[in-house]
Every structure is written in structure tokens, then in C-alpha cells.
Amino acid sequence: MKSIIVNMTVAAGLMVAGTAMATDMPDLAKKNSCTACHAIDKKLLGPAFMDISKKYKGAKTYSFKGKEYPLVEGLMMKVSQGGSGNWGSMAMAPTDPSGQKQGEIKELVEFVLGLAK
């Protein structure tokens, strides 16, 4: 009986791990060097994409530099311009100070937000 419970627990753990790993890092994240600081399911220098998604699940707005914006727009500004304070003292480097990659950044933000369903 004990071995059945252990086997069921191990199987459940593998199913959860398999679900978390089922999503691959998008090519845009690799192309834009997001993977240097972020992973889908674990903290590296920056938070895991899944943790970001969970934090903002259900949110409608994002406060950036003291002003409220619609969630996607505000997070795009944060990714573009960088900053610190949301996830600890480690600052996020600006990824698009020229504003040339806004379409790519929007796609990445929407991908991250869609992880926590």
C-alpha cells in the first residue's frame, strides 16, 4: 500500500513538472537576450516568466514611474526602459530604449501574461 502512495506521489510530481516544462522559450526571447536573465519556470537573475504571469493574472493596469497604464502597455514600457523595484533590487536593463522593437516586446509581454491560465 505504501509503495502505491509513493508511486502516485511521484507520478503526480512528474505530471506537474512536465506541464511546467511543456512551454518552450519563444524564439523572440532568445533573439532579444531575455534568456540571459529569465527562464520559463525558475528564477535566474530575473524572475521566472511563470512567476511574472501569476503576479499579473487578473490585473488590468500597471504602474510605471508613478503613472497607471493599461497592463500590456505598462509592462511594455517596463521591458523597453528597464528599471527596478518590482522583483527586488536587481535592475532590469533597458531592452529597447530607441523604441524600435515595440511589436516584438508586445508579443513577448502577451506570451508571458498568457502562461498563467
Say which residues have a Cβ less than 8 Å from residue 92's Cβ, sequence separation at least 6.
37, 46, 78, 79, 82, 83, 84
Q: Is residue 15 part of a domain?
A: no
Q: How many domains does the chain have?
A: 1
pLDDT level of residue 57 (50, 70, 90 thresholds): very high
What is the per-residue pLDDT for 99? 86
Q: Hey, how many other C-beta atoms are within 10 angstroms of the C-beta on 91?
A: 12
- Inside any domain, residue 1: no
Contact 52, 71 (CB under 8 A): no
Helix, strand or coil, per DSSP, at residue 69: strand
Helix or strand (DSSP H, E) at 68: strand 67-70
Q: Is 19 part of any domain?
A: no
Per-residue pLDDT, averaged over 9-36, amounts to 70
Domain presence at residue 8: no
Cell of 58: 487578473
**Mean pLDDT computed over every residue of the chain:** 85
Asked whether residue 65 is assigned to any structural domain, the reply reads yes
> Is residue 69, in this structure, part of any structural domain at all?
yes
pTM: 0.78
CATH number at residue 31: 1.10.760.10
Domain-located, residue 58: yes
Q: Looking at this protein, which amino acid is placed at residue 78? A: K
Residue 104 lies in a domain: yes
Structural domain of 82: 25-113
The terminus-to-terminus CA distance of the chain in angstroms comes to 35
Question: In one letter, which amino acid is 35?
Answer: T
Q: Return the percentage of the chain with pLDDT > 70, whole number.
A: 81
Q: Please report which confidence band the pLDDT of residue 30 belongs to, taking 50, 70 and 90 as the band edges.
A: very high
Closest CA to 97 of 83, 115, 110: 83
- Residue-wise pLDDT tens digits, 31-44: 999 999 999 999 99
- Which residue would you say has higher pLDDT here, 17 or 56? 56
